[in-house]
Structure 1
């Protein structure tokens, strides 16, 4: 067993003392010199050992053990995150109070799971109108379900069912994210609200504030058009969207979006979608019909102001022959539909975690701007352009709750004038 140098020196001294007592003066001096030499050797060994230990410790501090960045990311962020949003709304028409109603408009649960630092699953499950059954008006649906992978160059790829990156509302539609009790008409009737498709998408954000999205997805099915119902008048594309439900995929669609955030508080962007909608149906009267939808949007938030605007237009081509088969029905397929809105909000009061923001919005939209293929004098007239002014306020309570109130004035159809109250949350 190897002894500590200091212990060895002490033992040497104790062993030497008895002999010193019987030694002559010459022997004594010789032995003292020898003992001193050995003590110096021990001191040198102690100094060397200490120097070696200090060097090892310094090297360990300067060169820490390699760290797995994926493990650090997963430790700093929960692997599975629960989110959700919902709203309860009250609508009271001013012309007919008996038509007032309260609705649990929607309740949504989102589950996001991160497999590693670069791969995640995003899901959202939605229930609308409180009760879902064969005899009720409620709906239960999968709003999103996709896998996203991020690469080292900043490119992101996703596959599954995801929201289209159009307008200001479609990808940011939680009630805490917009003003007013109800979602605006342009991004509900012209751009179908929470519009999603199944497919693949690529996106990236550049250092200059520019972000882009490209995708190849499912599209619309014009064979679903019901010329005898009013749904197509309310929102042409909402009446023929497939939502990932046994979606016909003979004809796939493409989309592209650009957004620029190069100035603090400013967003400028645009979007275009194109896809054939006959889906290869046999003997279909519009075999090459195509939907094209585009929008341009802007939002600017200087200080307490929040200013926004959207212009959107859609077309459905080669519908003349199809509309001829709908003769006598009230809702032929429109060849064009469009709308726009401008909105301004101002944070007038803030105290602690409360914030009060009045707003005003003006919009025009037409879900049947023009028709094709109708005989002169017997066809359905193009729809009127509805003009709606909305004024109200949002009261934020903390970070995730909002109380809303507004009044809407319809110029073309005053019977739709109404008072709206609402509660929403998001977490």
Structure 2
């Protein structure tokens, strides 16, 4: 085969990049790596064909074809490309990411620990040029068993279909289009060893629900998402545990595991990318969380979460900001049954952060980006009033300042280091080190 075949494949990849840009954010984060992998496969198969042709008698060698390469589009392969071995297309693509972190509390060195935070394997298969299935499988904390703290979970499992007119539909278990981190959360995609607190404690990570979703584009740079899915189960709240104080929604999310579905939830998101390097958007999620459970004191409780976010990447700068606010209504009667316990259900919780990073140095193999982030969050901003002077006082906002740097190694590996300073709980001040990868 002639070198023009490789050039045609490269051209096809460049042409298809904007089209892939209409795909979901989770697909975007890995698309470049997927295209590169498919191109490598194409080159290998072409090399094998050349070797086969060289070994065969000259009279039997087929004439070179100049038909456009179609491996990057996953479209049906023309007869000119067909070979007895396989067509030149990659219907199934594997991906993955992982990270190993080290945390060193500066006031209590004996509490230092290293952790295989997570390892994820992703599989995406295209049935045709309009239909695909996406699956991700995650392992956390190295060991998962009855006596260990590790977990094994399905992070995503959904089927998506192109419906025409730039609109897509999906069904299954998928990530909520909330904030900046939830859908794009590989360690190479964010600054700092650990994920920020606002998009962990206020917006649970990694947050997924089972249901139906639609997405599409319109106008000049607008993209939207909407869906009907499972929601949270307030019946899982444990007033004797600190889990709800760490993350109210994280303690009652269902993750597609025998999820109560009497009360379904609605979500919507709108993002604008009409200016180079600028993203501005927001989202809303709302639904009841009682599920008509017999004898439950908060069947009318409604949970609503809002977020506004922006990211701007002019030149070497990477600037971002996010605000999130959550509210759970009609919790007074439920909290009355929790009297004497340390963790009642909050009526509201909120947080925000500002972050700036700068690509200070880069060569062919490395890129160094120092960053700084300030964030403020409160997982118990307020409580519903209680009779008889039994009101629960709100907790103060925690303020965290983080400074550090990411060192990218090649295209898929990152080394991280940072220092975090807490205003309220100074025992949490710490130095963090980490290594991560994504492919």
Q: Residue 339 of structure 1 is aligned with which of 351, 357, 382?
A: 351
State the alpha-carbon separation in 1 of the partners of residues 258 and 390 from structure 2: 37
1:258 aligns with 2:263: no
Give unpaired runs (5+ residues) of structure 2.
1-66, 79-85
Deviations 1:195-229 (A, max 9, x none): 00000000002351100000000000000000010
Deviations 1:35-59 (A, max 9, x none): xxxxxxxxxxxxxxxxxxxxxxxxx
73-82 or 129-138, which deviates more: 73-82
State the alpha-carbon separation in 2 of the partners of residues 308 and 375 from structure 1: 43
1:210 aligns with 2:222: yes
Q: Is the 8 A contact 1:317 1:335 kept in 2?
A: yes
Deviations 1:113-143 (A, max 9, x none): 0000000000000000000000000000000
Q: Residue 384 of structure 2 is aligned with which of 372, 393, 409?
A: 372
SS at structure 1 position matched to 2:76: helix
State the alpha-carbon separation in 1 of the partners of residues 386 and 399 from structure 2: 26
Deviations 1:389-409 (A, max 9, x none): 000000000100000000000
State the alpha-carbon separation in 2 of the partners of residues 384 and 377 from structure 1: 20
Number of the residue aligned with 1:11: none
Q: Is the 8 A contact 1:167 1:187 kept in 2?
A: yes
Number of the residue aligned with 1:33: none
Q: Residue 142 of structure 2 is aligned with which of 130, 154, 177?
A: 130
Number of the residue aligned with 2:32: none
State the alpha-carbon separation in 1 of the partners of residues 218 and 433 from structure 2: 41
State the alpha-carbon separation in 1 of the partners of residues 339 and 406 from structure 2: 46
1:385 aligns with 2:397: yes
Deviation at 1:383, TM superposition (A): 1.3
SS at structure 2 position matched to 1:402: strand
Q: Please show how residues 296-315 of structure 1 align to structure 2 within 5 Å.
A: 296-315=308-327
Number of the residue aligned with 2:38: none
Q: Is the 8 A contact 1:327 1:379 kept in 2?
A: no
Q: Please show how residues 42-121 of structure 1 align to structure 2 within 5 Å.
A: 70-72=75-77, 77-121=89-133
State the alpha-carbon separation in 2 of the partners of residues 81 and 70 from structure 1: 15
Q: Residue 159 of structure 2 is aligned with which of 123, 147, 153?
A: 147
Distance 1:155 1:75, change over 3 A: farther
Number of the residue aligned with 1:197: 209
Deviation at 1:251, TM superposition (A): 0.4
Deviation at 1:286, TM superposition (A): 1.2
Deviation at 1:378, TM superposition (A): 4.0
State the alpha-carbon separation in 1 of the partners of residues 219 and 348 from structure 2: 38
State the alpha-carbon separation in 2 of the partners of residues 70 and 179 from structure 1: 37
SS at structure 2 position matched to 1:71: coil
Distance 1:69 1:93, change over 3 A: closer
Number of the residue aligned with 1:237: 249
State the alpha-carbon separation in 1 of the partners of residues 403 and 389 from structure 2: 40
Number of the residue aligned with 2:371: 359
For the aligned residue pairs, the C-alpha RMSD in angstroms reads: 1.7
> How many pairs are equivalent?
362
Give unpaired runs (5+ residues) of structure 1.
1-63
Q: Is the 8 A contact 1:319 1:373 kept in 2?
A: no
Q: Is the 8 A contact 2:74 2:90 kept in 1?
A: no
SS at structure 2 position matched to 1:262: coil
Deviation at 1:268, TM superposition (A): 0.3
Deviation at 1:382, TM superposition (A): 1.1
Q: Is the 8 A contact 1:324 1:373 kept in 2?
A: no
Q: Is the 8 A contact 1:330 1:380 kept in 2?
A: no
Q: Please show how residues 320-339 of structure 1 align to structure 2 within 5 Å.
A: 320-339=332-351
Which of the pair has more CA radius of gyration?
1
Q: Residue 192 of structure 2 is aligned with which of 152, 176, 180?
A: 180
State the alpha-carbon separation in 1 of the partners of residues 112 and 387 from structure 2: 40
Number of the residue aligned with 2:281: 269
SS at structure 2 position matched to 1:283: coil
Q: Residue 170 of structure 1 is aligned with which of 170, 175, 182?
A: 182
Number of the residue aligned with 1:50: none
Number of the residue aligned with 1:411: 423
Deviation at 1:374, TM superposition (A): 2.8
Q: Is the 8 A contact 2:406 2:417 kept in 1?
A: yes
